[in-house]
Structure 1
Amino acid sequence: MSAASQARRLKGPEELEIVAFERGHFSSFSACGIPYWVSGDVPGRDALIARTPEEHRARSIDLRMRTEVTEIDVEGQRVRTRELPDGSGRDARSGPEHDSKADSGSGSGSGGTERWTSFDKLVVATGARPVRPPLPGIDAPGVHGVQTLDDGQALLDTLTGSGGGRAVVVGAGYIGVEMAEALLKRGYEVTVVHRDEEPMATLDPDMGRLVREAMTGMGITVVGGAAVSAIRTDGDGSARAVATDDAEYPADVVVLGIGVEPETGPARAAGLPVGAHGGLLTDRSMRVRGYENIWAGGDCVEVLDLISGAERHIALGTHANKHGQIIGANVAGGYATFPGVVGTAVSKVCELEIARTGLREKDAHRAGLQFVTATIESTNSAGYYPGAAPMTVKMLAERRTGRLLGAQIVGREGAAKRVDVAAVALTAGMSVEAMTMLDLGYAPPFSPVWDPVLVAARRATAVVRKAGA
């Protein structure tokens, strides 16, 4: 909808007809906000909705809700859609009757009316789907994903009905740790089960260990190196425990936070190119490679990593919205490009803030880069200022040149957003030595006189010089 809105800003309805299909019940909402809605920090579902279908239609965007695209006919320049039940027992398009000249033909399928809609230009923005391994009991009542607002509401209904108890979160990535916090705030006894050595595999293990120690201190049980083998159910078929090869963890509710993968079914079936991670491949204008009139963006595409030069799949709303702006401009006849990413992300679990950007050690090894690392401990404000809290910063730098390759930060208030300094330095191709002289803001409530990022850059500079000598 970011692409549709941008295109509409540039071209009026008399110049460009825009038809959008959405198979869900909501448009333009923040999936990233669902854990905070579940926790009670966000007061209600509507706070997460940026723009309703009615608001899009008021801007002459023909948005058809509960309509799923089942096939893309590239040669014929058309898509087949099927209407889905709206929850009231009838098929619905969630809006007034449409008489778009693009519609042609109809039929009756098991899910509702089917139609072909032709296009001159096609935008694929199908997002990502949660990883849901084919385990026994994975679809049992009480097992929840958190991808859509419907998912969030279903989880809240379960939590309200159970009135507290034991919760098991499967997976310890961003969604996993955020949901652990949400469930802890709702009074649940929380266990996080994950298969990696440490939680937050987007960090190096030594930094992930800090996250585990902090979560344990909050009362969360963290079980690493444990692959889930089944969801155990009780007599009525509801989830009662999460099983691994070595143990069972009792659960009144199970939340899946295993990660996501690109949702590219119809696009892949149509022959559009996909990369090693399953995402669609585009050029810098977000045009699908090899197709003049098809664009793709958001969680269903792979993007260029500016540090390693490889294609990556990174499912973040920040990138998706930028992709939408670029696609909308290009569809409307303008010109815009997306340069790539450095892989910046932040998260939190209770008071602990977690941030990373650039490459981890294993990413640098995979890219064939020789590097050094430096880790420092500092505080988020001047040590003498009341409330000063610890912060750990780790940097990776190229061995010969000192070019910054990555940074990871774990700490308390004020830690996470410091990673933005490193993200800018990565994008600019700065060396850690050049970073030491960055003119960052200073006052005792906000930082020591040497900001932790600069202290880490100084340490990394010394390590680079020693490695060179």
Structure 2
Amino acid sequence: MRQYRPHMKCDVVVIGLGAAGLWAAREALESSKDVMVAVVDRRVGYDTYSPCALPFTLNGEVGVENVKHSLPDLPRLKKMLGREVTKLNPEERIVTIKDVATSEVRSLEYGVCVVATGSSPVLPSIRGLREALGRGATTFSTPEDAMGVLSTLERGVRRALVVGCGVVGMEVSHALSERGVEVVCADALPYPLPGVLDEDMVKMVIGHLVKEGVDIRLNTAVEEILLQGGAVSGAYLGGEEVPVEMVIVAAGARPNSHILQGLVEMEEGYVVVDERMRTTQEGIYAAGDVTAAPSPLPLGRIRTGLASVAYLQGKVAGRNAAQEVVGGNPSERYLGSVGVFAAKVGALEVAAAGLDLRSAKAADPGAFAVKMKGSSLPDYFPGGEEMTVKIIADGSGKVVGGQIVGGSGVYWRINLIARAIMEGIGVDDLSLWEMAYTPPLSDIYDPLIHAADRARARLRRRR
């Protein structure tokens, strides 16, 4: 039977303690010395963690305990872990909170609420998958998932199936392969990461994984997970029975927005926010994976699921929530996202920002792309690593997208492309950007600038 206790009060309540919630709480506390903040999350044992690091726990690059983090105990901060918000009443500004272990229910009166509830893994409709969970099959989004996989590997797993060839699927597949596991990575799509990487760039990543021993199956649906003796024994892929002893599901995520259902405007389950991170309900902000947020790209609102986006949105939401609760006017503005991301698949770095070519052409039929190969260092200097740079521009020459696959240095170059997109820079100007140079670190004619020159030349030929 549920027990009820008198309600408590706080100025700002943050629901969820991922990247967005952590930074929302931090910024709210730092923005005003008078603000009391409460954070609510059902997690127990540790405060928060770095999900993007989880694939690298499987090959020993980082320990599982190292990706867990604690929020400092502060006088104006109340951590309410092991609890979940079951109801949000925006009229009375009260949230109902249940203790996960005891089912005790309390109410919390707030001034402003920040919803940063993140996302949960998608569980595809595959026969036998739900029955296989905990018996050799798992999703992969928490430290507990990683510990479960490592425990299974210690029992001598030789063959594994990874469902989904997105970023996480690729990183997990490579990590397992490094441990000597025979890996099949299957995806029902003709090529992974549509809307993020063009097919020609994805093929480079797929080729790298195949060379590393990963069996990539595209255009191949996983139809059934097989159990024998209470454990995973195989799977049907495209009508073929494949023996596997472990299944890792990396098939995307969906927003945890149910607490706001019927209270705010949503798009396909994502919470619509403005540039202040305000929802359509007064007194409620949202940040992170749960949001559909403004973007300078011609796509309307963007949903990224990126930690780098979540923390920025959390900063804006936390600052504005603190300003509002003390009677000020929320002034912080989120600049929008161009979806810039980077991934590391073994020695290969993969990164993209903005629109892929198909999306760019849908927005502007005159859009075009150029691609070139270059080296991170001058030809005469040892240690240079090859990379392929692709720049996507609209019909006027403005940079709207970029993709890079190669060795060391990919990630910082994609950040420059992202800045060009944010600022509306054209390929003419990008080709003249000043870059730091010293032979042990870079070439005077950087591959990024070389690609911009090619785009500029193509644009001039079209005029």
| Superposition TM-score, scaled by structure 1 size | 0.88
Q: What CA deviation, in whole Å up to 9, does each residue of 1:214-262 have, x standing for no partner? A: 11111111111112222122231x2222322332332211111111121
Contact 2:53 2:67 in 1 (8 A): yes
CA–CA distance in 2 between the matches of 1:328 and 1:83? 25
- Shift of the alpha carbon at 1:313? 0.7
Q: What CA deviation, in whole Å up to 9, does each residue of 1:129-170 have, x standing for no partner? A: 11112322223121122212222222222222x224111111
Q: How does 1:171-186 map to 2 (within 5 A)?
A: 171-186=164-179
- Shift of the alpha carbon at 1:59? 4.1
- Shift of the alpha carbon at 1:315? 0.7
- Shift of the alpha carbon at 1:437? 0.9
Contact 1:240 1:250 in 2 (8 A): yes
Which among 254, 262, 272 is matched to residue 261 of structure 1?
A: 254
Tell me the residue number matched to 2:126: 135
Tell me the residue number matched to 1:123: 114
Go from structure 1 to structure 2 and tell me whether the alpha carbon gap of 1:192 and 1:309 turns closer, same or farther (over 3 Å shift).
Answer: closer
Q: Which one-letter code corresponds to 2:442 in the other structure?
A: S
1:301 paired to 2:296:
no
Q: How does 1:167-316 map to 2 (within 5 A)?
A: 167-201=160-194, 202-236=196-230, 238-268=231-261, 270-276=262-268, 278-289=269-280, 291-316=281-306
Q: Which one-letter code corresponds to 1:18 in the other structure?
A: V
Tell me the residue number matched to 2:87: 71
Question: Tell me, what secondary structure is at the counterpart of 2:48?
Answer: coil
Contact 1:127 1:263 in 2 (8 A): yes
Tell me the residue number matched to 1:28: 48
Q: Which one-letter code corresponds to 1:405 in the other structure?
A: V
Q: Which one-letter code corresponds to 2:203 in the other structure?
A: R
Contact 1:200 1:211 in 2 (8 A): no
Question: Tell me, what secondary structure is at the counterpart of 1:373?
Answer: strand
CA–CA distance in 2 between the matches of 1:59 and 1:358? 42
Q: What CA deviation, in whole Å up to 9, does each residue of 1:73-111 have, x standing for no partner? A: 2223222222113xxxxx3xxxxxxxxxxxxxxxxxxxx
- Shift of the alpha carbon at 1:265? 1.0
Contact 1:342 1:358 in 2 (8 A): yes
Q: What CA deviation, in whole Å up to 9, does each residue of 1:387-446 have, x standing for no partner? A: 3232111111112x1111111001112223211111111111111111111111222233
Tell me the residue number matched to 2:422: 427
CA–CA distance in 1 between the matches of 2:435 and 2:260? 46
Q: Which one-letter code corresponds to 2:29 in the other structure?
A: R
Question: Tell me, what secondary structure is at the counterpart of 2:129?
Answer: coil
Q: What CA deviation, in whole Å up to 9, does each residue of 1:186-231 have, x standing for no partner? A: 2211111112223343200011111111111111111111122221
CA–CA distance in 2 between the matches of 1:117 and 1:331? 17
Go from structure 1 to structure 2 and tell me whether the alpha carbon gap of 1:152 and 1:209 turns closer, same or farther (over 3 Å shift).
Answer: same
CA–CA distance in 1 between the matches of 2:32 and 2:424? 37
CA–CA distance in 2 between the matches of 1:467 and 1:303? 35
> Structure 1 residues 387-396 or 371-380, which shifts more?
387-396
Go from structure 1 to structure 2 and tell me whether the alpha carbon gap of 1:137 and 1:59 turns closer, same or farther (over 3 Å shift).
Answer: farther
Contact 1:67 1:84 in 2 (8 A): yes
Tell me the residue number matched to 2:335: 339
Instruction: Structure 1: give runs of 5+ residues left out of the alignment.
Output: 86-90, 92-111
Contact 2:273 2:294 in 1 (8 A): no
Identity %: 28
CA–CA distance in 2 between the matches of 1:196 and 1:384? 42
CA–CA distance in 2 between the matches of 1:371 and 1:188? 43
Contact 1:199 1:209 in 2 (8 A): no
Q: Which one-letter code corresponds to 1:69 in the other structure?
A: V
Question: Tell me, what secondary structure is at the counterpart of 2:267?
Answer: coil
CA–CA distance in 2 between the matches of 1:9 and 1:465? 50
CA–CA distance in 2 between the matches of 1:324 and 1:115? 26
Contact 1:192 1:221 in 2 (8 A): yes
1:38 paired to 2:58:
yes
Q: Which one-letter code corresponds to 1:149 in the other structure?
A: P
| Superposition TM-score, scaled by structure 2 size | 0.89
Tell me the residue number matched to 1:97: none
- Shift of the alpha carbon at 1:307? 2.1
Contact 1:137 1:239 in 2 (8 A): no
Contact 1:297 1:324 in 2 (8 A): yes
CA–CA distance in 1 between the matches of 2:55 and 2:228? 27
Q: How does 1:371-450 map to 2 (within 5 A)?
A: 371-399=367-395, 401-450=396-445
CA–CA distance in 1 between the matches of 2:176 and 2:75? 39
Contact 2:163 2:249 in 1 (8 A): yes
CA–CA distance in 1 between the matches of 2:99 and 2:141? 21
Go from structure 1 to structure 2 and tell me whether the alpha carbon gap of 1:145 and 1:18 turns closer, same or farther (over 3 Å shift).
Answer: same
Q: Which one-letter code corresponds to 1:248 in the other structure?
A: E
- Shift of the alpha carbon at 1:370? 2.5
- Shift of the alpha carbon at 1:119? 1.9
Count of aligned pairs between the two proteins: 431
- Shift of the alpha carbon at 1:66? 1.3
Question: Tell me, what secondary structure is at the counterpart of 1:4?
Answer: helix
Q: Which one-letter code corresponds to 2:250 in the other structure?
A: G
RMSD: 1.7
Q: Which one-letter code corresponds to 1:127 in the other structure?
A: G
Question: Tell me, what secondary structure is at the counterpart of 1:199?
Answer: coil
Contact 2:23 2:311 in 1 (8 A): yes
Tell me the residue number matched to 1:150: 144
